[in-house]
Structure 1
Amino acid sequence: MELRNLRAFVEVVRQGGFTQAAKKVFATQSTVSKAIKQLEEEIGVPLLDRIGHRSQPTAAGSIVYQRALRILAERDNLVAELEALRGLKGGTLRLGLPPIGSSTLFAPLFAQYRKRYPGIDIRLIEHGSDRLEDLVRAGEIELAASLLPVADEFEWQDVRREPLSVLVSANHLLAGRRSLDLPALRNLPFILFETGFALNRIILEACRRHGFEPTVLARSSQIDFIVELAAADLGVGFLPRMIAEQRKHRSVKRIPLTEPRTDWHMAIIWRRGAFLSHAAKAWLDLLQQSHACK
C-alpha cells in the first residue's frame, strides 16, 4: 500500500472530488484517479461513491480514510524525528495561524525565528482556528494558533488573552453605552467571521446560554470589511479589543462586551503526546522567551 495513493485518497475525501484533490497533491486529475483505482484494487472494495461531480466515501472508504490519516501522521512524525537528528541546521516548521491577530502576535516572532534559525523551512498555513485544529489532529501541521478552550486531545502554550469589543455604528442608539452584554444585542443582526473561525463559536455559544440564536447578516474573513459593515449600521461586529483598537474608524464605536466566557484567548496548540520536531520546540521556546521579556 503506497503512501502517495493514501494521500491522494485522503485529499479526494477532504475536497469532495478529484479536481481539487489533484491541486492539493500537485498532480494531474488522471494521476489521482489512477491512485484511487490502485488502492481500490489492492483493498478489493470500492472506496468512493461518485455522485455527479462529487465523491463521497463508502462505508469501507470511511474506515480507510480514518486509518490513512493515522498512517500519514505517523509518517510525518518519522520525518520530524529524523530531522531532529540533524539539529536546527535544517528541518521544517509546519505551523498554522489564523488571520485574526497573527500580524500583531506572530510577525515579530517570525523575524526573530528566521534570524536565529535560517536553515529551517517555515511552511505556513492560514485558516480559522477550527480548521487548524483539524489539520493538527490529522498530523498535517505540528503547531497551530487556536482559541481556548480546546479539546483534551491537545496540549497548549499561552499567547495572549483579550476581552471582546462590540462594533456599532456611531449613529446607533447603543453607541453611547459604556458596556454591552449579549441580551442587549439579541434583536440586532450580527456580522460574524466565516465558518471555521473559533471566535464565531464562542459568540454563538454565549448567545445560546442566554436562550437565543442571533440573526447573522453577513460572514467575512476580512476584518476591514466587518468594520465597514458596522460603520454602515448594517449590524454589530465583534473583535478582540487589541484588534479593534488597531482598526479605528470614525463612524464606529468600540464598546466593551461584558460577557463571561467570551474572552479571545489565543494559544499555540499541538497533539497531546505527539513527537515535536526540534523546529517546533524552538518556536515554542522563542514564544516563551518573548513572553518572559514583556
Structure 2
Amino acid sequence: MTILRHVRYLKAVVDHGSFTRAAQALHVSQPALSQQIKELEERVGAQLLDRSGRKIRATDLGTIYLQHAGRALAELEQAIRAVRDVEDLSTGTLRLGVTPSVASYFIGPVLQRFRKHCPGVTLSVRVSSQEAIEPALRDDELDLGIGFGDLPAEDIEATPLHEERPMLIVGKKHRVAGKAAVTAKELAQMPLAILDASFSTRRLVDHYLRSKHLRASIVVEANSIEALTDIVRHTDLATILPANVIRPGLVAIKLQPAMETRRAALLRRRHAYCSAATRAFIAIAQEMAAGFQ
C-alpha cells in the first residue's frame, strides 16, 4: 500500500500547489509528506515536482506519472467501494451532482422517496453546472449526475428522464397572467428578471431571441432560481424558467413560437461501477420522471 500512499500524496501536492496545504488536507506533517514524495521520486528515478516557483507544479514526467498512476488509484478506490457496497442498502453512500434547474423541482421529491426506501444510505448532493458535473464523474468524484442528455461527452452515459420546456413565468397579478401565450416580440418588450450567463437556460433564452433578431429587456440578473421566482412573485417582472419550477403565486405562460425543450437525464461515467445505492436511486428517479411527462 506504500506506493498507493505515495500516489495520493503526490496528487495532493499537485492539486494544492503547496506542501503545507497538502499536508493539512492529508492530516500529516509537512516533513513526513516531503519525505514520502522524495522516496517516490527515488523509486521512480525521476523528478516529479517542480519546486522552483511559488506554486509547486508537476514536471512533465510527474504529469505522465499521475495520469497512469491516478487511473490505477481510481480503480482501486472503486474496488474498495465495491467491496464495501451493501446490497441490502442498510448502509452505503451516494455522491450526486445536480444542475440548478433540476435541483429546484426534481431532487427534493426524488430524495424524499429515496430516503424512505434507503434510510441507511448517506447522500452527498452537489448543485453545479453540467460543465462541472461531467469532469467530476470522469474523475470519480461523483457517482451519478442529473443534468441534460443533449450533448454529453463520449465517456459519459446519459439515461433520459423527462423533458424541460422553458416558459414565461409571472406572478398572478402580472398584466399578462391571464394570457394563454406570449409572442417572442412581446417577450422582448417585457422587463425581465433572468438567470445570468453561467446558466444553460439563459443561453437558450439569448439564442431564442437572437434567432428572431430581438433583444431581451433585462432589469435583473441572478444566479439563483429560487431568488428569481421570489422576485417575480413580488414584482411586475417576468422570467423564463422551466415550467416545472412553478410555485404557488406564479403562472406559466406558453411562448409562441415555443422555446426548444431539453431532455433531463441521469449521467454516469461509462463503464463505471454501479453500486446498489446508485441502482436504487436510478430506479426511483426514472419512476418519478414518468410523472413529469
Task: Give the TM-score normalised by the residue count of structure 1.
Answer: 0.69
Q: Which residue of 1 aligns with 2:112?
A: 111
Give the 5 Å matches for 1:9-158.
9-14=10-15, 25=25, 27=27, 30=30, 34=34, 36-43=37-44, 44-48=46-50, 51-52=53-54, 54-84=55-85, 86-149=87-150, 150-158=152-160
Distance (whole Å) between structure 2 residues aligned to residue 247 and residue 42 of structure 1: 64
- What is the Cα-based RMSD across aligned positions, in Å? 4.6
Give the 5 Å matches for 1:232-243.
238-243=240-245
Q: Kindly indicate whether the alpha-carbon contact (under 8 Å) linking 2:181 and 2:256 is maintained by their aligned counterparts in 1.
A: no
SS of corresponding position for 2:89: helix
Pick aligned residue for 1:272 from 248, 270, 273: 270
SS of corresponding position for 1:122: strand
Q: Kindly indicate whether the alpha-carbon contact (under 8 Å) linking 1:180 and 1:255 is maintained by their aligned counterparts in 2.
A: no
SS of corresponding position for 2:105: helix
Q: Kindly indicate whether the alpha-carbon contact (under 8 Å) linking 1:130 and 1:146 is maintained by their aligned counterparts in 2.
A: no
Question: Percent of counterpart pairs with the same letter?
Answer: 24
| Distance change (3 Å), C-alpha of 1:116 and 1:206 | same
Shift of 1:89: 2.6
Distance (whole Å) between structure 1 residues aligned to residue 4 and residue 119 of structure 2: 30
Distance (whole Å) between structure 1 residues aligned to residue 215 and residue 47 of structure 2: 44
Unaligned 5+ segments in structure 2 are none
Q: Kindly indicate whether the alpha-carbon contact (under 8 Å) linking 1:8 and 1:32 is maintained by their aligned counterparts in 2.
A: no
Q: Which amino acid aligns with 1:27?
A: H
Unaligned 5+ segments in structure 1 are none
Q: Kindly indicate whether the alpha-carbon contact (under 8 Å) linking 1:93 and 1:280 is maintained by their aligned counterparts in 2.
A: yes
Distance (whole Å) between structure 2 residues aligned to residue 2 and residue 212 of structure 1: 60
Distance (whole Å) between structure 2 residues aligned to residue 36 and residue 258 of structure 1: 62
Q: Kindly indicate whether the alpha-carbon contact (under 8 Å) linking 1:163 and 1:257 is maintained by their aligned counterparts in 2.
A: no
Question: Rg larger in 1 or in 2?
Answer: 2
| Distance change (3 Å), C-alpha of 1:80 and 1:220 | farther
Shift of 1:281: 0.7
Q: Kindly indicate whether the alpha-carbon contact (under 8 Å) linking 1:83 and 1:277 is maintained by their aligned counterparts in 2.
A: no
Q: Which amino acid aligns with 1:268?
A: L
Q: Kindly indicate whether the alpha-carbon contact (under 8 Å) linking 2:41 and 2:47 is maintained by their aligned counterparts in 1.
A: yes
Shift of 1:273: 1.9
Task: Give the TM-score normalised by the residue count of structure 2.
Answer: 0.70
Q: Kindly indicate whether the alpha-carbon contact (under 8 Å) linking 1:147 and 1:198 is maintained by their aligned counterparts in 2.
A: no
Q: Which amino acid aligns with 2:139?
A: A
| Distance change (3 Å), C-alpha of 1:120 and 1:207 | same
Q: Kindly indicate whether the alpha-carbon contact (under 8 Å) linking 2:183 and 2:256 is maintained by their aligned counterparts in 1.
A: yes
Q: Kindly indicate whether the alpha-carbon contact (under 8 Å) linking 1:83 and 1:90 is maintained by their aligned counterparts in 2.
A: no
| Distance change (3 Å), C-alpha of 1:223 and 1:104 | closer
Mean Cα deviation higher: 275-284 or 145-154: 145-154
Deviations 1:103-138 (A, max 9, x none): 521222222222222222223333222211111111
Q: Which amino acid aligns with 2:261?
A: D
* Number of residue equivalences: 285
Q: Which amino acid aligns with 1:267?
A: A
Q: Kindly indicate whether the alpha-carbon contact (under 8 Å) linking 1:93 and 1:121 is maintained by their aligned counterparts in 2.
A: yes
Q: Which amino acid aligns with 2:153?
A: A
Shift of 1:143: 0.6
| Distance change (3 Å), C-alpha of 1:30 and 1:262 | farther
Shift of 1:8: 4.3
